[in-house]
Amino acid sequence: MDAPNENEIHASETIYEPPENIPARYLANGKFLFTAYGCALTERQTVSGMYVYTAINLTTGNSEILSRRKTQLAETGHAGMAAKISQLTIRGNSLLNTDKKPGENANSGKLTETLNHIFNKILPIYGYAVREKQIELAAHILDVTGRRGVTLAESEVGTGKTHAYIIAAVLAKRGRLNDFWMRSHYPRQSWAESEHMPVVISTSSIALQNAIVKDYIPELSDILIRHGIIRTPLTAAVRKGKEHYVCEQRLYRFHNNSDANTKALLEPFIGANAPFDLTGADSLSPHIKRRVCVSGRCGDNCPYMTNCRYIRHMKEINDHKIDFQITNHNYFIADTLHRASGKRPLLPYYQLVIIDEAHKFLAAARSMYGYELTDKDCRNWRGRFILSPSVNPTTA
C-alpha cells in the first residue's frame, strides 16, 4: 500500500474547534480558522482587500505571517497551510508528539494513546496488518517499563515482536517515562548524562542485529517523523568486542612483515576511511584477523592513537544522544560482569534492556559464567586429587 501524501498527514493535524481559554489578544486582529502543530491560524483582510494569514503559537504567543493573498483561502487549502506551519521555527508539537525535553513530566496515558494510534492507524498505511497480539505485547512492555519492572514475554512466530518492543522503547525513551527515577539510579552518573540514557537491545544473532540497525529502526524512524510522533531521527549503534576491529599498530606491523600476497589482502583495510570492521572481512583468514585485531588495552604511547579508527568509532557509539545500543548476549553479560566487579562498564548507563531471542540467553550465560573442561583437563585434575599409596588416609 502506498504511503499517504503530505497533505493527508497535515490535514490530520488540523482542529477546527477553538482551544479553550485562548487569549483574546491572539484573535484581536483576525478570525480563527484552525489549529495545527501547536499554532492557531488566523485570517484578516486589509483595507486594500488583501487576505493575510498568520500563525500564532498558542504557548509562547510568537507569531509569523504565512501568506498574503488576493483571494480568500478555500478549505481545500487548509492542509497546505498546515504544512507551512509545520516548517516554522515557532511551531509547537504535533498532536501525538512524544519527544519531551529534560525535566518535562511524562504522560503515560498519552503514550499509550500514541502507541495504539501507531499500530492501528499509521502502520497499516504502510502495508502492516493490525495484529492484536502485537499491540498487546507493545502495550505490556510500555506498562512494565513505566512501573520499572521486569517481564518475560513469549510470542509466537508472526506476532511482530521486533516492531512491538522497538516502538514501546521509543515511546518510553523519547517520552521520558522514567526520567525522574533515572536521575538517581546510577550514583556515578551526572545529571546531564542521565538526560539521554539509551535502550539496550541484546540478541543472539548478527543477522538480527543488522536487521534492527539497517532495516527496522531507519524505517520506523522515517515513519514516526513523517507523522509527527518524533521530531529527530532515531539513532542506533552496534556493540561488538574489540577483537572484531582493526588495530592500526598491529595492522601496519603485520603488513610490513608479510609476503606480497598477504600485503595485497591487507591493502583494502589501510587508510583513514578504509573499512576496519573484521566481521565481514571474508577475504581475510581467521589467522590474519587474529594478528591485526585490537588486543589488550590501548596505551597512550601508541603512535597511531590520534588517527585510530577503533578509538574514533568507540567515541561515536558512546555518544549520549544515541537512542539504541544493539549488542549480543555475551557482550551484555560481559558488561554485567564488569559492573559487578567494579570495572569500567562496556556499555553506557542504560534505562531499559530488551533481551530478544531470550531462549538462547541461558547458553550465553553458561559460556560466560561457567568453565569448559576437556578430557585432558579431567585427567590432570584426577592426578591432583588421588592420594598416593604411601599416604595414610586416616592421617592425610
Per-residue pLDDT of the chain (396 residues; tens, 9 = 90+): 456 777 888 888 999 999 888 888 888 889 999 999 999 999 999 999 999 999 999 999 999 999 999 999 999 999 999 999 999 999 998 989 999 888 888 899 999 999 999 999 999 989 999 999 999 999 999 999 999 999 999 888 889 999 999 999 999 999 999 887 777 777 777 777 778 899 999 999 888 999 999 999 999 999 999 999 998 999 999 999 899 999 999 999 999 999 999 999 999 999 888 999 998 888 999 999 999 999 877 777 888 888 899 999 999 999 888 999 999 999 999 999 999 998 989 999 999 999 999 999 999 999 888 877 777 777 776 666 555 555 555 544
91 in any annotated domain: no
Q: Which of 280, 305, 320 is the last residue of a domain?
A: 320
371 in any annotated domain: yes
pLDDT score for 298: 78
The domain that holds 357 is classified in CATH as 3.40.50
Residues 242 and 223 in one domain: no
42: containing domain:
6-86
Please state, in angstroms and rounded to a whole number, the distance separating the CA atoms of residues 185 and 223: 33
Residues 217 and 363 in one domain: yes
Residues 203 and 266 in one domain: no
CA 77 to chain centre: 37
Q: Which of 294, 320, 346 is the last residue of a domain?
A: 320
Closest among 134, 120, 126, 148 to 220, alpha carbons compared:
126
* Count: domains in the chain: 3
Q: Which of 273, 292, 320 is the last residue of a domain?
A: 320
Residues 333 and 204 in one domain: yes
Residues 104 and 217 in one domain: yes
1 in any annotated domain: no
What order of strands is seen across the sheet that includes strand 51-57? Answer: 31-36, 39-45, 51-57, 63-69
Question: What global pTM score does this model have?
Answer: 0.82
pLDDT score for 396: 44
pLDDT score for 78: 94
Residues 65 and 102 in one domain: no
Closest among 172, 184, 154 to 112, alpha carbons compared:
172
